Every structure is written in structure tokens, then in C-alpha cells.
Structure 1
């Protein structure tokens, strides 16, 4: 199982009230509340995956604090990489664990302030005009090539 780091304070905010910590209580009575909060967060993440068209019904998420474990039996490599990014690029998530095939070493890039898809394409693909390949590799998480933000992780396609 591999682990990818994400910027916890960057990303889409979908966790809403599920992110709020339970009211102060003793340890015994707060444990069910913490489990309910984790379940609510996991459900919010699943809802986001469904909205993106990335959950074919076989995706299982396990949430422990700000770490999400992603499991899917039917997902191919590209879909698993997109699942990792879709979950990791959510505000409040710092790490994503997932299994990928042994030969699969995805290339991800963390966006820095002031970067554009063209600059990223030039760096990885040798041609700024190949930004569209990076945009396509990150659909449906990206809806516009100009809407990337610092801290966001992007998939870099193997070939463009």
C-alpha cells in the first residue's frame, strides 16, 4: 500500500459540518460521536466521487483522522490515480493510502503559487502547448485549465 501526501489546508471544502469536532465529553461517550463524524466525512467524500463520476459502486473509503484509505476492485490504473487525487485534493485530507499495480508509479505534481498548466506541461512534457494533456488527465476534477490552485496535486500523463 502506497501513501501520498497532500496539503491539508488546500482543496475543495466538502466536509462542512462533518468536519466539526464533537462537543466536549468524556472519552467513552465521545468515541461513538467520533465514529459518526468519520462516517459523515467518508460519506461526504463518497458523494463527491459520485458527483465526479468516479464511484462505480465498488469504491470503499476508510477514514482515520485526516488519512483516507481508498480501495476499489474494479478500477483501472487511471481511475485509481484519479480517485487518489479526487480524495486527496479535499480540504482536511493530508494523506491518501491506496494500492496500485507494482509497475504503476504515477507521476503527480503539486501546484506552486503562480504556476500554470502550460508551465507544468513545459516542465514534464517538454512543450507548454501540451497543457491540454494534463487538463484531460485530471478531468473530471478540473473543469477549466485556468482553475488550478497552490497545493493542488495533478496527474501528469505518461505520454502526451
Structure 2
């Protein structure tokens, strides 16, 4: 996951002017740090470059999603994040109109009651399982047998 695209006009509003974006996004990431050490953030023209050392692949994925789901961000470059290879298969899903985590769980797992698995896989990205928004990207761990 080196460069990931996002919808620039949707998401959580974290900064007002791009001149304050580096600091505001870094503060947001550090507040709910998914496991990135030596974090650095650079924002330019709606594109964010993050660097640091991730505890695991999930930490890097969550950091990318946290940053990418910020209003005003259209791409995240995580090529400078050192991370171990992923041990689980993950898909990324773009929330659509009418979606709930239960509907997403039904779609991917065949069981609407499996939504807590999606919520847990995105705890830093989704603060409340009832508050997801159209255009938000989330991680979907593959169902294991």
C-alpha cells in the first residue's frame, strides 16, 4: 500500500488551511496512534506523505485510512512507512449510500451480526459503529475458515 486515493471533499474536518495540515493530521494520528513510531506527516496540495515505523501492516493500513478519510485529502503516500508484511488478507471498501456496518458484514461475511469484526478492524478509523459516512474507506479482514 504505497499510494492510496480518497475522495477529497468528504471526511472528517481536521484542518482549516493547508499550512496547518501537517501538524493537525500528525496530532490526529498521535491521539489514536494505530502503532506508528517516529511518525512524520507532510501535506501538499491534498496529498499526504507519511513516514515512520509501523508495528505491523494493520497499523500502516489504519494510519493511511485515518489520514485519507480527512476532508481535503485526496491521496496518501505511505511508501516511507517501514512495516512488516501483512499476515492477514484485507480488502478495502468504500462506504456507499445506505450502508451500515451490518450491511457491509452481510455482504462480505454473509452474517450481519459479524459487524463487530469490521468495527474492531477499523477502531481508529471508525469511532462509533453507527457513524460511518459515504465515501469513507475502511478495512475488511477476509473471513477465515
* TM-score, L = length of structure 1: 0.78
Aligned to 2:76: 96
Q: Secondary structure at the match of 1:58?
A: strand
Aligned to 2:111: 127
Q: CA RMSD in A?
A: 2.1
| 1-structure distance, mates of 2:36, 2:140 | 23
Instruction: Report the alpha carbon displacement of residue 75 of structure 1 after superposing the two structures with TM.
Output: 3.0
Q: Which moved more, 1:125-134 or 1:50-59?
A: 50-59
Aligned to 1:147: 131
Any idea what the Cα deviations from partners look like across 1:13-45, whole Å, max 9, x if unmatched?
A: 0112x24xxxxxxxxxxxxxxxxx1xx211110
Structure 1 residue 15 corresponds to structure 2 residue 18? no
Q: Which runs of 5+ in 1 are unaligned?
A: 20-36
Specify whether residues 2 and 81 from structure 1 end up closer, same or farther in structure 2 by C-alpha distance, changes over 3 A only: same
Q: Which runs of 5+ in 2 are unaligned?
A: none
Aligned to 1:78: 58
Aligned to 1:25: none
Q: Which structure has the larger Rg?
A: 1
1:46-61 alignment, distance < 5 Å: 46-54=26-34, 56-61=36-41
Give the aligned length.
140
Q: Secondary structure at the match of 1:144?
A: coil
| 2-structure distance, mates of 1:57, 1:8 | 26
CA contact (8 A) 1:49 1:55 kept: no
CA contact (8 A) 1:60 1:70 kept: yes
CA contact (8 A) 2:3 2:75 kept: yes
Specify whether residues 96 and 106 from structure 1 end up closer, same or farther in structure 2 by C-alpha distance, changes over 3 A only: farther
Q: Secondary structure at the match of 2:73?
A: coil
| 1-structure distance, mates of 2:33, 2:54 | 14
